[in-house]
Amino acid sequence: MISDEPKTLHIAHLGPSGTYAEAVAVNYTKLLKEKTEVKTQLCPYSSIDKTLYAVESKETDLAIVPVENSIEGSVRVTMDTLWQLSDLQINLALIMPICHALVSSAKSLEIIEKVYSHPQALAQCQKWLNKFLPDAQLIPTKSTTEALGILDEELTAATISSERAAQIYDLPILASSINDSPENYTRFWVISKVDIPGIYSHSSGVNTTHTSLAFSLPANTPGALVKPLQVFSQLGINLSRIESRPTKRSLGEYLFFIDLEADATQSGIQLALSELSKHTEVLKVFGSYNVLQISKSNN
């Protein structure tokens, strides 16, 4: 368990070493050093949901998790787990450009029989795989780096990962920039159980630009979703994302995740949230935060 004294900030992320989440975590620690003198320790976990549970149980102070990719859309496990847990809040959003590489000890593409990677990475490279490795077996893993440790032994296998990961594991890169779209970005959330001062948060006196929330509806009836959405429309609040997820209680019942381009401390947003609560069953506000871009040179 972590100490109550703010000596070292423990940051959970999807591991093992070399994942995109770890790369974001490394960049985040650089931001911290610019703003504070706090020490940090990165803590890899084997799955995304475990990183969030680590914050919930106070094993770590923060979790850095992917929430949305520009090609494949939302990361469902992040949203589902965030809804299930209580008292977690978003401190910051970091957007990282994603550039996949095919990493393998194989002598050529022609002998590759298996390709391992996270399902999102496999999907983001589907066209390339269909063109260059149409007969290869695609094997999903928990992360883009999980299978890197077996490539020295499986000489007909490859994994889709980052060039940074290939360098960390000292493995050859057979092909670079294999994602189907060059405009491939993933948004990550920095999540904590309490507000962490000094890192672009309200406690530091910083104005924020986005608010994320989710709600369930009291009944699956005609117009049930219209009323909550009209609250934002009537007050002139722009929604940058809206997405539904099943409640897992009954077929046809959904949760709705919404991103607002606004600060939840503003009087207009406070009014909207008060009005919204009248039309929802459960309303969770995950917090207000800023969005920062990570440059390709830091990937």
pLDDT digits (tens, 9 = 90+) for 225-239: 888 889 888 888 889
State how far the Cα of 192 lies from the Cα of 183, in Å rounded to an integer: 29
Cβ neighbors of 267 (< 8 A, separation 6 or more) are: none
b/e map 28-56, b = 16+ CB within 10 Å: bbebbeeebebebebbbbeebbbbbbbbb
Give tens-digit pLDDT for 40-79. 999 999 999 999 999 999 999 999 999 999 988 899 999 9
Q: What is the pLDDT averaged over residues 271-290?
A: 91
- Domains recognised in the chain with CATH numbers: 8-97+184-198+291-298 (3.40.190.10), 101-175 (3.40.190.10), 210-290 (3.30.70.260)
d(Cα 64, Cα 176) in Å, to the nearest integer?
A: 26
Query: What's the mean pLDDT in 243-255?
Result: 85
Sign of CA dihedral 254, 259, 260, 263: positive
Closest CA relative to residue 51, chosen from 33, 24, 30: 24
| Per-residue pLDDT at 103 exceeds 70 | yes
Beta strands of the chain (E only): which ranges? 8-14, 39-45, 62-69, 73-74, 89-97, 101-104, 114-117, 137-140, 157-161, 173-175, 185-192, 210-216, 239-246, 254-260, 282-293
The 10s digit of each residue's pLDDT in 168-197 is 999 999 999 999 998 899 999 999 987 665
Residues of the chain with pLDDT > 70, as a percent, come to 93
Which tens digits make up the pLDDT trace of 189-215? 999 987 665 555 555 566 788 999 999
Q: Report the alpha-carbon distance of residue 173 to residue 148 in Å, rounded.
A: 12
Computed from CA positions of residues 185, 20, 65, 204, in that sequence, does the dihedral angle turn out positive or negative? negative
For residue 204, what pLDDT is reported? 57
User: Which tens digit of pLDDT belongs to each residue from 134-149?
Assistant: 999 999 999 999 999 9
Q: Is the pLDDT of residue 277 over 50?
A: yes
pLDDT reported for residue 3: 47
The CA distance from 85 to 61, in Å, is 15
Please tell me the predicted confidence (pLDDT) of residue 94.
Answer: 96
Maximum Cα–Cα distance across the chain: 63
Taking residues 258-268, what's their average pLDDT? Answer: 87
Residues 78-95: what's their mean pLDDT?
93
Q: Say which residue, 289 or 2, is predicted with more confidence.
A: 289
pLDDT (0 to 100) of residue 198: 54
Model pLDDT, residue 227: 87
Coil/strand/helix, residue 17: coil
Q: Closest by alpha carbon to 91, among 37, 22, 32?
A: 32
